Structure 1
Amino acid sequence: MEKTGIKYGVLTAVALIAYFLLMKLLGLAHIIELRFLNGLILAAGIVMAIKNYKESVDGLIRYFKGLGVGTLTAITATVLFAVFMILYIKIFDTSMLEVLSAERYFGERMSVTPGIVVFMVLMVEGVISGFLISFIAMQYFKRQDHKVPGAP
């Protein structure tokens, strides 16, 4: 289970980084609304991880194991992407801090470094959405035949 979650978490992080670099190359990285696609990339990684895990256990996936695979995938991908973003901001582009900063959530008097703010925001976004995506995906993958109960 852990091996699958980490493997797909790394692959998802690579996809998130590639997407960010593509947006930066096209001059679109400052458009906050495009971060929505990060969620779709994360969802694809989680679904592929759960599907792969289900195949590895011959279709007999236990609900909490599948939920764990998806959540581990999300955590791995989010941590790697957040670390990349902090390094990118510190080394290449400090102006990205304004785009990603969430200081308004913490107030102006808090003495929190910008790197910590970015890391916390990305972690909260990624882990919470990843858990919800895993929960939703497991509604589909928990059944061996992938059919909705009561459907013909």
Structure 2
Amino acid sequence: MKFIMKNQAISIRYGLLIAAALIIYFLLLSLLGLHTDPIYSLFNGVITGAGIYLCIKNYQTYKGMKFKYQKGFMAGIISGFLATFIFTLFFGIYATNFDPNFITEILEGWQNDNNTNIAMLLFVVATMGFATSLVLTLAFMQLFKSSWNTRQAKKDLAS
């Protein structure tokens, strides 16, 4: 039980750090007037990726070189999903309470014939964050997983 709590503590800590970095980056873009340009949201993937990588690396350091793929994957995915959830909440609060023109500015390219509103925008932000977290966690776990091409792994598979 203590192992599960430590795994979750690592994931939660990194999830909070990723969310804080995403929020700070968004606020910095807002100060510069660049927060309505979607090209800058590409850097969100870099921030999320760095946080997930560090989360899995920290988990590996805690567990040692031999750790289960599923546990490392869970650590990365929890941190990414938590960060996405927190950032989406912040984004919704910001878009509805702090900058009333933000929704209009960001959605003006979308509102051709569609009935797009804040709910659709939040859905897109959340979906992008969850997809980024899933793909990056899968990619990073390829770096951290144990190789099955060793003599010991072949012995373990044979038994």
Q: Shorter-chain-normalised TM-score: which range?
A: 0.7 to 0.9
Q: Tell me the TM-score normalised to structure 1 length.
A: 0.83
Cα 1:18–1:116, aligned 2, differ >3 Å: closer, same or farther? same
1:136 and 1:102 map into 2 onto residues whose CA distance is 35
Shift of 1:119: 2.3
Letter of the 1:71 counterpart: I
Partner-residue secondary structure (3-state), 2:100: coil
2:62 and 2:95 map into 1 onto residues whose CA distance is 39
Q: Tell me the TM-score normalised to structure 2 length.
A: 0.80
1:35 and 1:108 map into 2 onto residues whose CA distance is 23
Equivalent positions of 1:55-134 (< 5 A) are 55-98=61-104, 100-101=106-107, 108=114, 114-134=117-137
The structure where helix makes up a greater share of residues is 2
Runs of 4+ in 1 over 2 A off after TM superposition: 98-105
Letter of the 2:125 counterpart: L
Unaligned stretches of 5+ residues in structure 1: none
The count of corresponding residues between Structure 1 and Structure 2 is 142
Shift of 1:143: 2.9
User: Is the CA contact (8 Å cut-off) linking 1:71 and 1:130 kept in structure 2?
Assistant: yes
Cα 1:101–1:141, aligned 2, differ >3 Å: closer, same or farther? farther
Per-residue deviation, residues 54-89 of structure 1 (Å, max 9, x unmatched): 111012221111111111111100000000011111
2:21 and 2:132 map into 1 onto residues whose CA distance is 17
Identity of counterpart residues, as a percentage? 30
Shift of 1:98: 3.8
Unaligned stretches of 5+ residues in structure 2: 1-6, 151-159
| CA-based RMSD | 2.4
Cα 1:25–1:65, aligned 2, differ >3 Å: closer, same or farther? same
